[in-house]
A and B are shown apart, each in its own frame.
Chain A
Amino acid sequence: MSAKIRTQEEIAARVKALESMLIEQGVMTTQAIDRMVEIYEHEVGPQLGAKVVAKAWSDPEFKARLVEDASEACKELGISGLQGEDMFVVENTDDVHNIIVCTLCSCYPWPVLGLPPNWYKDPQYRAAITREPRKVLSDSFDFTVPESVEVRVWDSSSEMRYWVLPQRPAGTDGWSEERLAELVTRDSMIGVGPVAQVAS
């Protein structure tokens, strides 16, 4: 094996060469590439998961359906698709705090969170989060889970895509779903951060 680490320029040239051959074979077109990029830059992102969480916080019957079958419940809001064909929501409670990871590659629920941030796909997070999750949360995310609360890490080894339903913060009684959704961060649905703080 020759372990050569390529520069950005070398990768860019390799990719353009590969792209040119796939285009000539009819496998890709620049139009289809641009559309795919546009979807994940501007259409599919964590604002969709936030909408689901806010509805679950506001509507107990929807929440029951979401916890029972997340993929079907999300379809009610028009949310579904690639890399989230079979989703499962894990609910944070006073006793359990959930975190997701894919230690074997980079699996992530695209339809509700978009494409994963690089740290989620990097070796460091994947190596450490099952072994010392509290230390990772504290060192890299400035986030502490009380010792009385169980930290439960979900390693997405199959095609089931887990994501976290965070707890509704206090002081939000009577808030609209739109206003609640603004509190829901991407990190809170991965489990590495809190929902946004409510000014008291």
Chain B
Amino acid sequence: MNGVFDLAGTDGIGPVIVPEHEPVFRAAWEKAVFPMFAMCFRAGFFGVDEFRHGIELIDPAVYLKSPYYEHWVHTVEHFGEKLGKLDMAELDRRTAHYLAKPEAPLPQHQDDPELLAFVEAVVPVGATAKRESDKAARFKVGDIVRVDRSAPKGHTRRARYIRGAVGEVVLAHGTFIYPDTAGNGLGEHPEHVYTVRFTNEELWGAEHAEPNGSVCFDVWDPYIELAGPAAANAEGAVA
């Protein structure tokens, strides 16, 4: 989707502010939210692509101004409501309760050895998005390609600043979960992933580009088509 989260090249939002020091978590609530990604993933709320899409659907003004981990709260709520795992009226009622009594306790509960074992297992291993596929790669390192102009309304990793741009394939990584299906609840459908390198001049125009620079961006096979000499030869063959 053409959302405000797709930030590359956006001007006018101010300088990068780098504090001298900052803690990993800036507030107690951030510590409660961070584990929700892994634990709600385990509980079937979302895959990582859907998790991102839930964040992309946040009101743009809130997205730009809210603290980072609040984005995660929104996506957990989005999928909790959508899947019927969270009663939003009950969530509102409890929010009012804890707003009035911030020190009120959490519900009594037992430790869960399986959940702790999950944490110990998932942190050092993770969950790769790499998938075996017998799909042939349409492109190879060295190919000159153009990113298509397609602008899906659902989840995609087609950032606006690379659409229509021409670059060189510099790495080929094999096949991975395809965000344009997985992020929209349509399954993994693995596709080849490549890194394409674009010059600054190609992305921003010679007049406005910083000299001697480039951007490498990862694309899935359906995002690109051959451009340059190879494409010209192919067209020649058809004619």
A residues neighboring B (CB under 8 Å): 1-6, 8-33, 35-37, 39-41, 44, 80-86, 88, 103-106, 111, 114-115, 117-119, 121-128, 130-136, 139-141, 147-160, 162
Contact = CB atoms under 8 A, between A and B. Distances in A.
A115 B19 CA distance: 16
Contacts of A134: 210, 213
B136 interface: no
B49 to A, nearest CB: 9
Given A16-B29, A16-B94, A124-B13, 11 more contacts: A18-B86, A18-B91, A19-B106, A21-B91, A31-B112, A40-B34, A104-B159, A119-B17, A153-B216, A157-B159, A159-B48
28 contacts: A4-B62, A5-B62, A11-B67, A15-B29, A15-B73, A16-B102, A19-B106, A20-B94, A21-B90, A21-B91, A22-B40, A29-B116, A37-B34, A41-B24, A82-B38, A82-B125, A104-B157, A115-B34, A123-B10, A126-B7, A130-B9, A135-B210, A150-B214, A151-B214, A152-B197, A154-B216, A155-B215, A158-B193
A24 B94 CA distance: 13
B171 interface: yes
B157 A83 contact: no
B70 to A, nearest CB: 6
Contacts of B109: 23-24, 29-30
Interface residues on B, range: 35 or more
B35 interface: yes
Given A119-B16, A140-B17, A16 B59 contact: no
Given A17-B97, A103-B7, A131-B8, A139 B116 contact: no
Interface in B151-209: 157, 159, 161, 171, 173, 176-177, 193, 195, 197, 203-204
Contact of B62 (A3, A13, A114, A130): A3
A13 B98 CA distance: 5
B232 interface: no
Interface of B: 5-11, 13-19, 22, 24-29, 31-36, 38-40, 42-43, 48, 52, 55, 59-62, 64-68, 70, 73, 76-77, 85-87, 90-92, 94-99, 102, 106-107, 109-112, 115-116, 118-120, 122-130, 157, 159, 161, 171, 173, 176-177, 193, 195, 197, 203-204, 210-220
Contacts of A159: 48, 128-130, 176-177
The 3 closest A-B pairs by CB, nearest first: A17-B94, A158-B218, A103-B8
Contact of B66 (A6, A117, A158): A6
A23 B36 CA distance: 11
A37 to B, nearest CB: 5
A128 B122 CA distance: 33
